[in-house]
Amino acid sequence: MVGSARTRRRAALTGVVCAGLTAALAGCGSGDPDAGTNGVGKLSAKRIERKARNAAEQADAVRLSGNVVSKGKTYHLDMRLKRSGAMGTVSEGGSTFTLLRVEKDLYLKADTRFWARQEKGGGKPSRSDVEAAGKLRGKYVKVPPGDPAYKQLSGFADMRVLLDGLLAMNGKRETGDRGEVGGVGTIRVRAGEGNGGILDVSLAGTPYPLRVERGGDAGALELDDWNKDFALNAPAKRQVVDYGRKISAN
């Protein structure tokens, strides 16, 4: 009797374990790609895009890195932006400049090659141009609001303006493949069969846009550090000099 009771208990325990394991395996193998995600993968392409744009509009800060092609020129951006300003670098044509915007004040710090091109009006700089430009090395130039370059340069340092331009897509929307950006799963929204742009939207947490491929081969950028604040201060007066003439961003 004792032996049969022990056998029944062992059989019951085995049944419970097997039932639990079966249920767990069934859950793992349910085939639902949206299990454990924020659920945007189940939405239409237009709704995914709308949620991503809304998330970007409501964010307080972001970091952008990648390439933007405009008017035949390729700019490499590495910018941190927030509502009150921005800081980072922009490279084009072999020269690199640092942008710093604090509220409406815009500062530019560039390498010798950039300033030498300014001395020559965009042409090939002479030795004297390079020597003159060397005096600006390591210094910030405050760009006057009336300077022709202010509007163009401030576009790289304005979070709202930059995001509005980068996230714009053209053509019929459709959902694409699932992907991954920076270790985070994404759902892709394609416009114009990809020719009008491709947007990777996060499937984890807030559906932020994590990568954008601009239509017409106009560049690709990654977006991260959403809502991650950073210090933003105007340079010390001793670091700021007056260039004394109009600046060209080209």
* Per-residue pLDDT tens over the stretch 16-25: 444 444 444 4
The whole-number pLDDT of residue 131 equals: 53
Is a pLDDT exceeding 90 seen at residue 101?
A: yes
pLDDT tens track for 124-156: 555 555 555 556 777 899 999 888 888 888 989
Distance CA 40, CA 12 (A): 42
| Of 75, 76, 51, 42, nearest in space to 209 by CA | 51
Query: In the beta sheet, which residues pair with residue 22?
Result: none
- Percentage with pLDDT > 70 across the chain: 76
Tell me the average pLDDT of the chain: 84
The whole-number pLDDT of residue 177 equals: 95
The whole-number pLDDT of residue 12 equals: 47
Query: What Rg value do the Cα atoms of the chain yield, rounded?
Result: 27
> Can you tell me whether residue 71 is helix, strand or coil?
coil
Contact 68, 74 (CB under 8 A): yes
DSSP for 170-221, written as a single string? -S-EEEEEEEEETTEEEEEEEEGGGTTEEEEEESSSS--EEEEEEGGG-EEE
H-state helical runs in the chain? 2-28, 45-58, 112-119, 127-133, 148-156, 159-166
The whole-number pLDDT of residue 152 equals: 83
> At 120, which amino acid appears?
K
pLDDT tens track for 69-81: 988 899 999 999 9
Predicted structure pTM score: 0.79
What domains are defined for the chain?
A: 40-241 (2.50.20.20)
H-state helical runs in 75-126? 112-119
